[in-house]
Chains A and B, each alone.
Chain A
C-alpha cells in the first residue's frame, strides 16, 4: 500500500493548510520520530488528566506534531509506506491511550476508528475519524461551560 487514497475533502483541507507550511523552513528530521513524539505527548496529557486545561494543551501539541510529521515528510521527500504505517499506528496508539482514561463514549469511538483503519488497509482507502480533534472541540466547549458530561477525567 504505497499511496493510500484519501477522501477529496481531506485532500482539499490538507492542501489548504499544508501550502503555507510547506513554504516555511522546516527542519529535516525523521518524521517517524515526530509521530512517536505525538504519542509521548498524549501520555503526558493523561498524567495531567485531572486538569482539563493541561489535557487540552498536551493533546493540542500532540495533534500539531501529528500534523507536522506528514508536512515534513512531504517537504523533504521522505514520505514512505513505512512512514505511513508509523503515522497511522501512532495515531491509534495516541487515541487508545487517551480514550482509555476518558472512557465513555470515546473508547467506543476509538474501537470504531481501529476497525476503520483495518478496512482502510484492506481497501486502500484511508478514512478515519479525527477523534482527538473532536475530543478537543468538545473539551473546549466543556471548559467554556457547556458541560454535557462527555469528558469525565
Chain B
C-alpha cells in the first residue's frame, strides 16, 4: 500500500475512536508512515538494488513484522508506565498496527520473520488492480477528509 493510503485508512479508523485535532493528525501521519523508511535502508544496503525488490517481502525489515510488534509493544507499555500520555501511545501504536495489517493483506510479507521465513501473500488483487484500488481509496478518503476540514 502507498504511504498516503496508509495514512488515510488509519486516520479514518482512528478518527472514529479518538477526538482528532491537528496534533493527533500529525501523530497519525508520522506513525502510519515512518515504518516504511526501512524500505530505503534495505534498498540501498542491497548488493544489486532494483525495482523488483519493492514487490518482495525482503524489502521489509524485521521491524515490519512480528518482531517489530513485540519490540514496539514493549516500548509502548513502558512509556505508559513511565507517565507518557496514554492516548498518544495508543494513537502511535494503533497507527503502526493498522499499517502492518494493511500490508499483511495487500503485499508480500514474512509475518513471523526472523523466527520463520515463510512468505505470505493473499494475492487479493493483481498489481494493476491494486494500484487502482489505492488510488480510489486515496481519492475517496482524501475527499472525505477535505470535506471534514472545510466544515
Contact = CB atoms under 8 A, between A and B. Distances in A.
A47 B93 contact: no
Interface residues of A, number: 33
Contacts of A115: 70
Contacts of A86: 111, 120
Contact of A101 (B69, B73, B94, B122): B94
Contacts, number: 82
A33 interface: yes
Interface in A68-125: 81-82, 85-86, 88-89, 92-93, 96-97, 100-101, 103-104, 107-108, 110-111, 114-115, 117-118, 121-122
B17 interface: yes
A97 B115 contact: no
A144 to B, nearest CB: 25
Interface string B99-116: 011001100000110011
Interface stretch (B34-42, B46-54, B74-82, B126-134): B74-82
Interface residues of B, number: 28
Contacts of A39: 101
Contacts of A32: 122
A107 B73 contact: yes
Interface of A: 1, 32-33, 36, 39, 43, 46-47, 49, 81-82, 85-86, 88-89, 92-93, 96-97, 100-101, 103-104, 107-108, 110-111, 114-115, 117-118, 121-122
